[in-house]
Amino acid sequence: MAKDVALRELDQSGFRISNLGDPKAAGDATKTDNATVPKANSGNGAAGVSLLAAPVDHVHPADGSAGGGAIVCVDDPSYQTVTGVAEDVVFEAFVDLTALPAGEMKVAIGAIVKASVGNAIFNVRLGGSAGQPDGNVVAVLSTNSAAFLGSEVTVFHVANPGTAQLLKITGHADSAAGVAHIYGKSVQLRPQSGA
């Protein structure tokens, strides 16, 4: 028995072909689902198992490999100083890192900074206790400029804890007489891909 393989929009009676059923196996003629809301972008994405064209159960990746992706960004314009070598918290926020894909991320800090004597050192930390200069150091920004200047640093291949975390900026000088100055702070955490 021969199969009809003619490429046409009308059947042999002249009617538009519109009675396409749901596909049963890979390679069957298919149709689109124009009613189901697509799934949200997540992780590295998933092809889905639906046999429909533009499968309703596919998931686009959340990371930067698809040209988009999640970014966790915190900004703080306020001005702080820390005198001496004792590290102190100059900014903290509670951030949700579950929006970023599992694995590694990159961390960038930018700020306007200066040091009155010697060096001013600012650490980006994840975790720890609220109000305390603790948690894992994931990036360090330092300057020995006696005048305010914009400075930034990006650190790659930082482990993403994959949970909500305290994000802190702590600061200190490298001498007892030194004063570390900072304002216009911005921290971004983004997927490692595209680094």
| pLDDT tens digits, 128-171 | 999 999 999 999 999 999 999 999 999 999 999 999 999 999 99
Domain assignment of residue 67, yes or no: no
From 32-36, 60-64, 98-102, the region with the lowest mean pLDDT:
60-64
Same domain, 146 and 86: yes
Structural domain contains residue 38: yes
Contact 152, 113 (CB under 8 A): no
**φ and ψ of 150, to 5 deg:** -80, 135
Q: Assess whether 24 and 80 both reside in one domain.
A: no
Report helix, strand or coil for 109.
strand
d(CA 190, CA 107): 7
Asked whether residue 42 is domain-assigned, the answer is: yes
| pLDDT surpasses 90 at 14 | no
Domain boundary among 38, 61, 84: 61
User: How far is 102 from 104, CA to CA, in rounded Å?
Assistant: 7
How far apart are the C-alpha atoms of 62 and 66, rounded to whole Å?
A: 8
Distant-in-sequence, close-in-space partners of 155: CB < 8 Å, separation ≥ 6: 106, 107, 108, 138, 139
Assess whether pLDDT exceeds 70 at residue 102.
yes
Question: Which percentage of the chain shows pLDDT scores above 70?
Answer: 66
pLDDT tens by residue, 19-51 = 566 777 776 666 666 666 666 666 666 666 666
Range of the domain at 46: 1-61
Domain membership of residue 171 (yes or no) is yes
The DSSP bridge pattern shows strands 149-159 and 88-96 to be: unpaired
Distance CA 60, CA 41 (A): 5
CB 106 within 8 A of CB 190: yes
Number of separate domains in the chain: 2
- Tokens 């020995």 sit at which residue? 144
Alpha-carbon span 148 to 172, nearest angstrom: 16
